[in-house]
Amino acid sequence: MSQPLTLLSEEEQLFYDTVREFARESIAPLAGPMDQAGELDPSIRPQLFEMGLMGIEIPEEHGGAGCSFFMSILAIEALSTADPAVAVVVDVQNTLVINAFLRWGSEDLKQRYLPRLAESKVGAYALSEAGSGSDAFALAARATQDGEDWILNGQKLWITNAREADAFIVFANVDPEAGYKGITAFIVDRDMPGFTVGKKEDKLGIRASSTCELVLKDCRVPSANILGEVGKGYKVAIETLNEGRIGIGSQMVGLAAGALSYTKDYVNERKQFGRPISSFQGLQFQIAQAETDLEAARLMVYNAARLKDAGRDFLKEAAMAKLFSSQVAQRVSSLCVDLLGGYGFTKEYPIEKFFRDAKIGSIYEGTSNMQLATIAKKVLG
């Protein structure tokens, strides 16, 4: 059963409940096997598209649902209660890829790509490299103009959705002497000559979500596939990642909610000393604190998403939401392992997976230290 959520309209609550029920019935039974195999079950991708979850903000005229950013956040949270690895597929598609197309794409790019992204095609966002993580603009990938085309060379690492993706937003520098002002965003199709999806990482958590390297060797990309303007890729990256952080915050909230939901059922059934362990005040207080932390994190994520939809500044709020929700997810999932005892330490139960999945929240789309730096800059001037 879905729990009632704070400050949701009737339509939003129904949407959340529908997605969470889908996650419970169709994703949760596959979460363990997918984690072990390190890949999505073939049945998952078409179901995500059939439910409209891969094109939530795409306008109806382009085949999408025409909904708000906030609805994307609700979908990510609901999916994460069953499997954060599936949720991040939806997260990257909506908060990074589609948002970038909507804000920066030419009409030609929107007409060519948005219907495909809404119907069946997965997108990926390729910024990170071996030498550019927190220093996101230290890119080694290069783009050289050749007539009406650009020739891309370089390597990208840690690219989510890479194995499944059909279209990639790839960042490369067209003028290294200009520094970050040479960075440009290109749309690269999977079948373009010179483009290869390389090694898939063997990860601690969110294992069903693919994370791979990309190799570009004299990859020819037409000028029509530039997202935004030449030399403006840094703006595409910054503004898109600000929105993506809210998505990760939502993923962490859903993860904590899923772990807590399972644990509450367990402690009500598990008996020691002749009574359910949920009757012991020491355990009750731990659950109460975890629920309080979870609700605070949820409110921060929702607030940042509402600000984004209202067209107001949300940079600080997004950083705070991602920072705090990732902390909460790690604390709560660790507590849940403790409360299940030996069962929490085995792969037979889902809690150890939530615990492993939670760690990525403080790393990707901006580490916790980078969020603190952003917050400090905003509050101290």
- Which residues are known to be catalytic? 365
Cβ-based burial of 66 (10 A; exposed 0-12, middle 13-18, buried ≥19)? middle
Please give the Cα distance from 242 to 239 (Å, whole number): 5
Label residue 7 left, alpha or beta by phi (over 0 means left) and psi (-120 to 50 means alpha): left
How many angstroms from the chain centroid is the CA of residue 265? Answer: 28
Query: Which residues fall within 8 angstroms of residue 361, CB to CB, at 6 or more apart?
Result: 248, 251, 252, 255, 322, 325, 326, 329, 330
Place of tokens 């990525």: 360
Exposure string over 209-240, b if 16+ CB within 10 A, otherwise e: bbbbbbbbeebebeeebbbbebbbbbbbbebb
Amino acid at position 221, single letter = V
Amino acid at position 313, single letter = D
Give the pairing type, strands 167-173 and 123-126: parallel
Tokens of 364: 């990707």
From the CB of residue 13, how many other CB atoms can be counted at a distance below 10 Å? 14
Give the SS3 label for residue 100. Answer: helix
Give the SS3 label for residue 10. Answer: helix
Place of tokens 């790509």: 113
Task: Report CA-CA distances (Å) from 24 to 81, 134, 320, 352.
Answer: 8, 35, 29, 18
Alpha helix (H) ranges present in the chain? 10-22, 28-37, 44-50, 69-80, 84-91, 99-104, 107-119, 233-269, 281-309, 315-340, 351-358, 368-380
Give the SS3 label for residue 375. Answer: helix
